[in-house]
Amino acid sequence: MSATPFKFISQKIIVLVLIAWTLTFSCSALAQTKNKDPLFAQGKDYFSAGDLNRALGCFRQYEALQPNNIAVHFYIGLILDQTGDSKAALGEYNQCLAQASSIGTDSAELRINMANAQSKLGLSKEALFNYQRAIVIDSQNPLAYLGLSKCLLDTGDFDGALKAIDRYVSLSQPRADLNVSLIRGLALAGQAKLGEARAQLQLFINSSQAGTQPSNPALTQLAVKILSEIEIMQ
């Protein structure tokens, strides 16, 4: 096999995969701090019910009263990230981290959400650091390995991505996850292991089309595109 197809597939993975990806948000223990303030409690209730606009309004009001509260910055960051403003969300997470650090604490979940936001903003090095930091804090957190695998794909470390997704699977059993076959397929394609990559990508496409789990059309399109290139080269 020539070097040209290998480079072509690798470039497609690096450019497209994190742009299309839906990242999983993690709820931090920092956000579970017991707070009996009615305004904060109302914000949590709205958040749990999926009414993010009202939740954000409550948390903003509470933030004005308690600007150094760790949990309120975490919730605001979550809402901003979920509504598409990852840059503003990262600012809230940074405030949350600074306040947590001032009292000598840290959170794997916070680091994961920071890394997710950084990945969306194209800050791969910073995201990689925070996923790795999350694993140092809690080596049993599966979402840290899931995020790490996606980040390593973006940096071209396909072997590392495969190891990270295998660790995610070992910690998440028996939960099925479409992410697994897609990440494996993309990483194997990046390694030019085209036969194995084809099998994994086909598994992802079949599962997506079956509708057994929620899927992202952009990711399915990415998998189909790379699979078609593999079939041309084989």
> Looking at 78-150, which runs of residues are DSSP E strands?
none
Q: Are 164 and 145 in contact (CB under 8 A)?
A: yes
Is the per-residue pLDDT at 20 higher than 80? no
Over the stretch 93-123, which tens digit does the pLDDT of each residue have?
999 999 999 999 899 999 999 999 999 898 9
Q: Are 227 and 205 in contact (CB under 8 A)?
A: yes
Domain range for 46: 27-138
Do 171 and 77 reside in the same domain of the chain?
A: no
Which pLDDT value is given to residue 38? 92
Do 178 and 83 reside in the same domain of the chain?
A: no
**Percent of the chain clearing pLDDT 90 (strictly above):** 64
Q: Residue 224 maps to which CATH number?
A: 1.25.40
Do 78 and 176 reside in the same domain of the chain?
A: no
From 182, 175, 157, 154, select the one nearest 16 (Cα to Cα). 154
Q: Are 143 and 130 in contact (CB under 8 A)?
A: no
Which pLDDT value is given to residue 193? 94
Which pLDDT value is given to residue 233? 79
- Number of domains composing the chain: 2
Do 6 and 69 reside in the same domain of the chain?
A: no
Do 86 and 65 reside in the same domain of the chain?
A: yes
Over the stretch 41-91, which tens digit does the pLDDT of each residue have?
999 999 999 999 999 999 999 999 999 999 999 999 999 999 999 999 999
Do 166 and 230 reside in the same domain of the chain?
A: yes
Do 10 and 98 reside in the same domain of the chain?
A: no
Give the pLDDT band of residue 232 (cuts 50, 70, 90).
confident
Do 175 and 150 reside in the same domain of the chain?
A: yes
Over the stretch 38-50, which tens digit does the pLDDT of each residue have?
999 999 999 999 9
Do 46 and 8 reside in the same domain of the chain?
A: no
Tokens of 89: 């969300």
Is the per-residue pLDDT at 25 higher than 80? no
Q: What is the C-alpha R_g of the chain? A: 19
pTM of the model: 0.85
Is the per-residue pLDDT at 149 higher than 50? yes
From 226, 165, 160, 172, select the one nearest 199 (Cα to Cα). 226
Do 133 and 47 reside in the same domain of the chain?
A: yes
Over the stretch 187-209, which tens digit does the pLDDT of each residue have?
999 999 999 999 999 999 998 88
Do 152 and 99 reside in the same domain of the chain?
A: no
Look over the chain and give the mean of its residue pLDDT values, rounded to a whole number: 86
Domain end, chosen from 88, 114, 138, is at 138
Do 216 and 130 reside in the same domain of the chain?
A: no
Domain end, chosen from 138, 171, 202, is at 138
From 216, 203, 152, select the one nearest 22 (Cα to Cα). 216
Domain end, chosen from 93, 114, 138, is at 138
Is the per-residue pLDDT at 32 higher than 70? no
CA distance 147 to 54: 29
Q: Residue 127 maps to which CATH number?
A: 1.25.40.10
